[in-house]
Amino acid sequence: MVQVDMVRAYVMVRVDAGVVGDVADRVRDLSAVAEGHAVAGDYDVVAEVVADEMYEAMETVADEIHELDGTSETKTYVCLD
C-alpha cells in the first residue's frame, strides 16, 4: 500500500516497434516503479511511479524511463488523491 504522503504518477510510454516487452521489463526494474505493464492502445507500456517527492517522480520519468532505448514518447499523469 502507498503511504498517503507519497507522490504517485502513471506514465504512458510509447515505444519503437518490436521492443515492447524489453522496454516493459526494463521499466519494471526501475526502483521507483511500483508496477509496469505492456498494454494495447495508444501507448505500449503503463507504469506506476511512486516517490517521496514530486522531483523524484519526475526525475524517474525524465532521466530513467524516457531515456530507455526504444522509448519514443512519455505522458505522465500525477495522481491528485
Residue 1, helix vs strand vs coil? coil
What pTM was computed for the model? 0.91
User: pLDDT-derived band of residue 3, with 50, 70 and 90 as boundaries?
Assistant: low
Give the integer Cα–Cα distance in Å for 79 and 42: 20
pLDDT digits (tens, 9 = 90+) for 29-47: 999 999 999 999 999 999 9
Q: What percent of the chain has pLDDT over 70?
A: 95
pLDDT digits (tens, 9 = 90+) for 64-77: 999 999 999 999 99
Q: Domains plus CATH for the chain?
A: 7-78 (3.30.70.920)
Give the integer Cα–Cα distance in Å for 41 and 45: 9
Whether 28 shows a pLDDT value over 60: the answer reads yes
User: pLDDT-derived band of residue 5, with 50, 70 and 90 as boundaries?
Assistant: confident
Residue 65: exposure state from Cβ atoms within 10 A (0-12, 13-18, ≥19): buried
